[in-house]
Structure 1
Amino acid sequence: MSVEVDERDTHDAIMAATYRALCEHGYAHLTMQDIADEFDKSRSLLHYHYDTKEELLLVFLDRIIGWVGDRLAESDTEEPPERLEEFVDKFVIDPGEEERETFALALLELRVQAAHNAAFREKLAAHYAENVDVVAGIVADGIEAGVFREVDPRRAGETVYTALVGARMYQVTMGAGEATLRTRDALAEFVVDDLLVEDRTVSEYAGGDFSKS
């Protein structure tokens, strides 16, 4: 195995350990030891790559920027309404998905830190912009294809993504167990349906069950 491949594998393992540790402990109480406990290699190797928790988390935030867009790019879904449905579904947390809930809570804690930490703020702003751009791109494609009516794609992107972020925050902090599910259905009814050109319906383009899937 080449040194380059070994380094990449080590980096991937550290990022995976960071994800698991965040899910288990959240941000506020997270320590380098917690991450080391989830890392299947030596703690000294972890500290060789990262001196502090903040340094590691900044790299971790770099990793999650564009994650949703990358997953959509790998999908076989082509129709813009179905791609928008797929995007929204990636932010839905079903009742009982404890790992996803705790990770969403950890991200919320990082957003709180961003108010006072410029480095976190820069990374999270890029994360926000990337997700807005993904939705804006889908909407723009739909307009070009004659599926969506003429709107400002970026404003549509901000509306969809901000609604999803707010629903996740409400769900993980207030125990609103189906907030993201309800928001998905509301986006289908009040946003996606409104985007479609006249005489078209969500069900016609999204397999018949966008708001019920």
Structure 2
Amino acid sequence: MRMTSLRAILLPDGMLDAMIDTLATQAYCVIDDFLPAELTLALRTIALERQQQGQMHQAGTSRSAITNPNLRGDQIAWLKKDDPHPAIQQYLGLLQEVQQAANRHLMMGLDEFETHFAIYPAGSVGYATHIDQFRQHRQQPVPGARTLTSIIYLNDQWPEDAGGELRLYLDEHYEKPASTESHLDIAPLGGRLVLFLAARFWHEVRPANLPRISVTGWFKTR
């Protein structure tokens, strides 16, 4: 199936335009129902199957490959571009549409895309406050740096009291911000897409009392 037909089937008219306009205005955007329910379910099923098959591993922090469950509680499984599963190819096709739109309208120069499933078990610590682009890359941009972060939530039902929000610190900070700084809490509702500039926003994942499932990715510059 061609990418143009994927977009026509899965994305409502104007969604990409609204996404790019919002991203240009505030450097982040939240799009509900970016994925249809069937694709959300298919990706969630794949993620859980890979966890059950032992294909996931404890994630390290952004500064180190060493795992620390006190700072980061998720298990991840990286996805390959040639994964044969149709749902994964549909997901990758949609994110390619996002990449092309960002390059066309915002001149972002996005090239590569890396992505993984992430599952935070119920009761895990979440992910401590961090930023997705290394400090040296923020000081002097380099090819291959993470530029735009993409998160799509795959959860089935998410009660308000389940926790697990993405906390996005809205003001620019060179160092890690205090928890009292201005922020936005984004619930991990199934099918919801969050995009934000990787060098701009410190963020964290709040602890959750239910398993929290997502597919997260980063667009890199040429």
TM-score (norm 1): 0.26
Answer 1 or 2: higher relative contact order, Cα 8 Å, separation at least 6. 2
More strand per residue: 1 or 2? 2
More helix per residue: 1 or 2? 1
Asked which structure has the greater CA Rg, the reply is 1
TM-score (norm 2): 0.25
